[in-house]
Amino acid sequence: MPDISEKFVVLTMTQHESRVWATGITRGTIPEKIYAPPGLNPHHFRSDPSHHGRGDGPGVPAYFEEIVSAVSGASEILIIGHGHGKASSMLHFIQYLERKHANLAKKVVDAIDTNLDAMTEPQILAMARDWFEAHPR
């Protein structure tokens, strides 16, 4: 992974895959892809009465920690996610950051909910550029 210290990072999240644009948001930039463990579905209710359905089932912390490692050096993080309420991996990840990595959670500048399945990578980058232009530093 390239050095991303003090850089703006775009992170997209679904329950199956995350993509990290750490080297810029110009056209043609290739993201790093992080895949959830096979069979992971953090949104199913558990039959174990000791588990209260917070989305921290087996595999979720490992998936989230891999994403944390990929974005930890960033100065700002824009998260683009898919899903609503309990089905939102983005929301679960932000809550995870707030509980486990509070300093990194403070670097999240915005969270945008959109239909990632219907978007191409160039469209995602265009959305990130539009966001960046609307929020000048």
pLDDT in tens, 50-88: 444 444 555 688 999 999 999 999 999 999 998 776 778
Full residue range of the structural domain in which residue 114 is found: 8-43+53-134
Mean pLDDT (the chain) is 83
For residue 2, being part of any structural domain is answered with: no
For residue 3, being part of any structural domain is answered with: no
What's the mean pLDDT in 17-41? 86
Q: In this predicted model, which residue has the larger pLDDT, 2 or 11?
A: 11
What's the mean pLDDT in 108-112? 95
Strand order in the sheet with 76-81: 32-35, 17-21, 8-13, 76-81, 108-113
Q: List Cβ neighbours of 18 (8 Å cut-off, separation of 6 or more).
A: 11, 12, 33, 34, 63, 67, 70, 89
- Domain total for the chain? 1
Domain containing 73 — which CATH number?
3.30.420.60
Compute the distance between CA of residue 86 and CA of residue 103 in angstroms, rounded to an integer: 24
For residue 15, being part of any structural domain is answered with: yes
Residue 1 pLDDT > 90? no
For residues 124 and 17, the answer to whether their CB atoms sit within 8 Å is: no
What local confidence, expressed as pLDDT, does residue 49 receive? Answer: 43
Which tokens sit at 34?
């992080």
What local confidence, expressed as pLDDT, does residue 47 receive? Answer: 38
For residue 48, being part of any structural domain is answered with: no
For residue 84, being part of any structural domain is answered with: yes
For residue 1, being part of any structural domain is answered with: no
